[in-house]
Amino acid sequence: MWEQISSNKWKSGLLVFFFVAFVIFLGWLFGETTVWGPYATVLAVVVASVGALVSWYNSDKMVLAISRARPVKHEEFPHLDNAVEGLAIAAGIPKPALYVIEDSAPNAFATGRNPEHAAIAVTTGLLQKLNRVELEGVIAHELSHIADYDTLLMTITVILVGTVALVSDWMLRSFLWGGGRRRKSSGGGQAGAIIMIVAIVLAVLSPLIALLIRLAISRKREFLADANGARLTRYPEGLASALEKISSDREPLEVANKATAHLYIENPLKDVKGNFNKMFATHPPVDQRIEALRAM
């Protein structure tokens, strides 16, 4: 398991590096095949970055509001409050704000731009259906997301996904509106035709490629949070048992949607099984996560 932690870290870094390189290449290709030059790519990066920056400072409030989460007082769920406080001290981070979602489906998520501005939300179903050690396993997993700055990593990928979507859309519109004339620097003849074909193909496929990279990064971080959460509680079976209960509960979470599903500890939408759906899954297969935990 510890080898997998190291592997997940460098693979996540490699995916981000590839993502950045892909955005740069797409921007270069856009400049080579249209009269817009490099300025449109710069503008796309600025627009996507500003949008992500606004979301960065307000995403936690937005997610909590969409999820209908309400603040929790210590007197209401003292065992939850005590578990979060103790594990936060063990993780070396400030205690995050606590929220509860009134829903019988067991699940939880963490949000916030950094450990100083973080929150954990759990459903009432999670509190009712999990025992103490299982609840601690879930809380430790979410605290690991906060401590590892996974929200920051996913914000970076959102910026890159937004940039790819903007650039690819502008490329397609330029081709359709007749603005897709090659710039002189791209040369002519067969080489220019090849560049144009590659540009059209990437303009169509790049949003899908960007989405797959983002999902791959998300899945790697889930494995890492499982491992760090188990290391925090020193009892991997607690989280493994919690994942079994959460995944076997067939009740979908009413407030969850495709925009927030990746935040939860396990997919709350209960997608149908199939290879195509697995490719677009926000989480790694739960049986693989449980197997890795029990191998620790």
Can you tell me the distance from the alpha carbon of 173 to that of 245, in angstroms, rounded to the nearest whole number?
48
pLDDT tens for each residue of 231-272:
999 999 999 999 999 999 988 898 888 767 888 999 888 654
User: Do 269 and 282 touch, CB atoms closer than 8 A?
Assistant: no
Can you tell me the distance from the alpha carbon of 93 to that of 144, in angstroms, rounded to the nearest whole number?
10
Q: Is the pLDDT of residue 98 over 90?
A: yes
Mean pLDDT, residues 96-110 taken together: 95
The residue annotated as part of the active site, out of 134, 142, 222, 266, is 142
Q: pLDDT value at position 184?
A: 47
Verify whether residue 142 is a known catalytic residue: yes
Residue type, 207: P
Q: pLDDT value at position 252?
A: 84
Q: pLDDT value at position 178?
A: 58
Q: DSSP states of 211-254 as a string? A: HHHHHHHHHHHHHHHHHHHHHHHT-HHHHHHHHHHHHH--PPPT
Q: pLDDT value at position 236?
A: 95
User: Do 99 and 120 touch, CB atoms closer than 8 A?
Assistant: yes
Q: DSSP states of 164-180 as a string? A: HHHHHHHHHHHHHTT--
